[in-house]
Amino acid sequence: MRKYHWSVCVASRSCHCLELSVPTASANLLSSLHLLKAFFMLGLRRLVICPGSRSGPLAVAAGILERKCNLQLFTCIDERSAAFFALGAARASGTAVAIVTTSGTAVANLLPALVEADKSGIPLLILTADRPSSLKNCGSNQTVAQERFLTSACRWLGHGSLQGLSTMSYCAINLLAERAWVEAHGIPSGPVHLNLPLDEPLHITSGDLQKLLDTYRFDCPTKPKKLDSVNIDYLGCEQFGEIPCFISDQPGVIVVGPWRGSNLRYPAFIKSIVRFQRHTNWPIFADPLSGLRGCSELKSITTYDLFLDKIPVDIGIRQILRLGPMPASRQLQQWIKKTGGSQILITEGDTRPQDFLHLAQQWSGGFSAWCNCLPEQFWNMTSNSTSLDINSWLQCIEVKTQNLLSQNLSLVGAIREPSLARILENLIPTDWPIMLASSSPVRDWENFTQNITPHTVEGFRGSSGIDGTLSLAMGLTSIYGRLVLISGDLALLHDSNGWLWQQQISQLKGQLIVLVIDNGGGGIFEQLKIRPKSEGLRYKSVMDFEKLFTMPQSADHRILAAAHNISSYVITSAENIKSALERAYSQSVTLLYVGTNRFYDAHLRQEIRSKVVPIMKQHLP
C-alpha cells in the first residue's frame, strides 16, 4: 500500500491537498485531528467518546487533543447516556459539547437526548463515523441509514466526503466545522449531526502515532475564534419583525416559563423584568425553571397552581405578557385561556411557534430587546392603579396560601412528598444547584415551595421525558461542580446506566447528591381521572391500574448504587434529612433514599387544594 505523506499535507492549507489520495490510517487520523482541532479553535472544550472501531481515528484524535490542548474528554459505553450527559454539560456551560460514536444503532441511541436539546435550544455536536459510500446499501455489517436517523431533531445535517474523511481537503474540513458550529449555536441553538464516512485502514500503528506526535505542530488557541455569524449574546429589534405593543395602560400580568435563552443574556433579562415590573406593577407568575423565584428584587406569585381555578374569571386583567415557554402548571394554562385579553408572547430568539393556546402574538427577539424597543411613551406612562390593586390582592393570597402550606406540610415525622420539596428548599445551600426530574418532583417544587431562597434550579422540560435523568445530572455536575438531583424512582431506574459516570465525576472532584423518592412507581398517575377511587379489590376486575399505569418495580436502588461503589443512606423521617445531606456534602456521588406512599400523598395534594377554597372566599376582590 502506498504510504501517505501526511507531514507535507499538514503544512499545506490548500483546498486540494488531500483530494484523490489513497486513504491510509495516518490520513484518517490526520483528517480527524484536523476536524476536532477546527472545532477546538471555534470553542469546543468538551467531548464524549463512545467506543467503536469505525470511529477509532476520531477517538485517537480526541485523545491527542486532550493531551496537547486540554480538551476535556469523557468516555461512555452507552450512547443514550452519553448524549444526555453532553446535554447536561452543554446546558450548564452554554456551549456545544461533542459526542463521537461509531456507526449503526449507536447513532439511533442519541435521538432521545437530541429531541430534548432541540426543544430546549441546547447546542450539541454529533460526530458519527460511517462506512464510505462503496459499502452502503450492499449488506455491509453495521451499515444503516444513520445519516437520516436524527433528522427530525437537528438544526443541520452535514457529512464528510462520501469516499471518506481523508479525501477531504483541510479547507473543506474547516468549512464543514465552521458551518456545524454556527448552526449549533444559532438562535435558537440546537443539535447538529455530522455523519463522517471513514475508509479503511482505520487504525494507525503505535509507531506511526509516535512519529506523528513528534512532528505535528500544535497551536492550541486559548481564546476561541470569533465567528460573526455566531452572535448569541445579542438579539436586535430589527430582524424579528414589527414589535408588538400593549395598546393601553390596562392591568396585566406577566407569566414567565423556563428560561430557554443563552446564559449570557440572562442577567439582562432579569434587569429588564425588574424594570418592567417596577413600571407596570403587574404581578409575575414565575415557573421554578424561570430562575426568578427567590429573586429579592421581584415579587413573584408562586402558588398560582393552587388557587387560579378558584378565582373569578374576570379579575380585571386585560393583557398578559408571556415570556418563554408555558409553565408546567395546568391551572395556569386554563386560566390564561379563560382570561383571554391581549397577549404577547416573547421568546429568546426561538421563532418556532410556542403558543399552543393560539391566543398570543409571538415576537422572538428576546425580552430585553423588546423592552428597549418599546416606544418612549410606554415608559413615560404612569402605571394603572388597578394593576397595583390586583397585584396587592394576589400577593395577599400568595401569603395566605403560603401560610396554609406551612400549617399543613409537616417538617417532622413521616416524609410526605409535598413537604419534602419545602424541606429540601430550605436545607439545600444556595451554592448547590438543584435538578428536578420530570414527574412529581418538578410539580411539587412548583406548587409547594416557599421560594425565599435563590437556588439555581434546572429541569429538562422541552419534551418532559423521564429518560436520561441521571446522566443529565452528571453532565450538569461536570460543569457546576456540585448538584442535588431530586428524582422519582422510575425516572432514576430508567437511566440507571447513568451511575457509570460516577468514576469520571469523582476524578473531576465533582459532587452529586441523588435524592430518590421511591413511591413504588409513577405517583403522578395517581392524579389521573381513570384512577380507581379506592384500592379495594372491587376495581381489580375493572382494570389493573398498577399494571397498566404506575408499574412498580422490584429493583432496589440502593443495591444498584452499591454495584457502582456508591454509598447510600435511607432517610426515614423528616428530621433525618439534614444530617443525611450533611454527610453527603463531603462525598463525591451519594444516593439518599426516601420511601413515600404515592396514594396518601396524592390525597394530601388534593386536601391542600381544597383548603385553599376558604382563603379565596375570604379574599374575593
Ligand X SMILES: Cc1ncc(C[n+]2csc(CCOP(=O)(O)OP(=O)(O)O)c2C)c(N)n1
Q: Which is nearer to ligand X, 470 or 580 (CB)?
A: 470
Residue 524 binding target from Mg ion, ligand X, none, CB below 5 to 8 Å by type: ligand X
Q: Report, in Å, the least distance between residue 524 CB and ligand X.
A: 3
Binding segment (CB under 5 A) for Mg ion, from list 134-142, 297-305, 513-521, 613-621: 513-521
| Window 481-500: residues binding Mg ion (CB under 5 A) | 488-489
The Cα–Cα gap between 611 and 609 comes to 5
Q: Report, in Å, the least distance between residue 296 CB and ligand X.
A: 31
Q: Which is nearer to ligand X, 280 or 469 (CB)?
A: 469
Instruction: Kindly determine how many residues on this chain lie close enough to bind Mg ion according to the rule CB under 5 A.
Output: 4
Which residue has its beta carbon closest to ligand X? Answer: 488
Q: Per-residue string for binding with Mg ion, 338-377, x by CB under 5 A?
A: ----------------------------------------
DSSP string over 586-621: TSSEEEEEEE--HHHHHHHHHHHHHHHHHHHHHT--
> What ranges make up the beta strands (E) of 156-202?
156-159, 191-197
Q: Report, in Å, the least distance between residue 553 CB and ligand X.
A: 9
CA dist 444 → 116, 220, 440, 481, 601 (Å): 22, 47, 6, 25, 11
Residue type, 589: V
Give the one residue of 523, 591, 604, 605 binding Mg ion; rule: CB under 5 A. Answer: 523
Neighbour tally for 69: CB within 10 Å: 17
Q: Which is nearer to Mg ion, 346 or 524 (CB)?
A: 524
Binding segment (CB under 5 A) for Mg ion, from list 102-110, 397-405, 520-528, 568-576: 520-528
Residue 24 binding target from ligand X, Mg ion, none, CB below 5 to 8 Å by type: none
Q: What is the DSSP letter of 79?
A: H
Q: Report, in Å, the least distance between residue 507 CB and Mg ion.
A: 31
Q: Which is nearer to ligand X, 257 or 488 (CB)?
A: 488
Q: Which is nearer to ligand X, 252 or 468 (CB)?
A: 468
Q: Which is nearer to ligand X, 130 or 425 (CB)?
A: 425
Q: Report, in Å, the least distance between residue 110 CB and ligand X.
A: 15
> What ranges make up the beta strands (E) of 275-407?
284-286, 300-301, 319-323, 342-346, 360-363
Give the one residue of 303, 347, 502, 519 binding Mg ion; rule: CB under 5 A. Answer: 519
Q: Report, in Å, the least distance between residue 550 CB and ligand X.
A: 8
Q: Which is nearer to ligand X, 152 or 579 (CB)?
A: 152
The Cα–Cα gap between 129 and 70 comes to 23
Strand partners, 457: 434
Residue 491 binding target from ligand X, Mg ion, none, CB below 5 to 8 Å by type: ligand X
Helix (H, G, I), strand (E, B) or coil at 101: strand
Q: Which is nearer to ligand X, 510 or 523 (CB)?
A: 523
Residue 464 binding target from ligand X, Mg ion, none, CB below 5 to 8 Å by type: ligand X
The Cα–Cα gap between 129 and 197 comes to 6
Q: Which is nearer to ligand X, 253 or 491 (CB)?
A: 491
Q: Which of 171, 196, 202 is nearest to 9 (CA)?
A: 171
C-alpha cell at 21: 489520495
| Window 118-157: residues binding Mg ion (CB under 5 A) | none
Torsion of CA 300, 303, 304, 308, to 10 degrees: -140
If 0-12 CB within 10 Å is exposed, 13-18 middle and 19+ buried, where does residue 390 land? buried
349 CB-side CA count, 13 A: 25
Residue 479 binding target from Mg ion, ligand X, none, CB below 5 to 8 Å by type: none
Chain positions contacting ligand X, by CB under 6 A: 438-440, 464-467, 488-491, 519, 522-524, 598
Residue 95 binding target from Mg ion, ligand X, none, CB below 5 to 8 Å by type: none
Q: Report, in Å, the least distance between residue 282 CB and ligand X.
A: 33
589 CB-side CA count, 13 A: 24
> In sequence order, what are the residues at sequence separation of 6 or more whose Cβ sits closer than 8 angstroms to the Cβ of residue 299?
277, 283, 284, 391, 395
Q: Report, in Å, the least distance between residue 501 CB and ligand X.
A: 19
Q: Report, in Å, the least distance between residue 608 CB and ligand X.
A: 17
The Cα–Cα gap between 39 and 113 comes to 21
Residue type, 172: A
Q: Which is nearer to Mg ion, 156 or 599 (CB)?
A: 599
Positions touching Mg ion (CB under 5 A) are 488-489, 519, 523
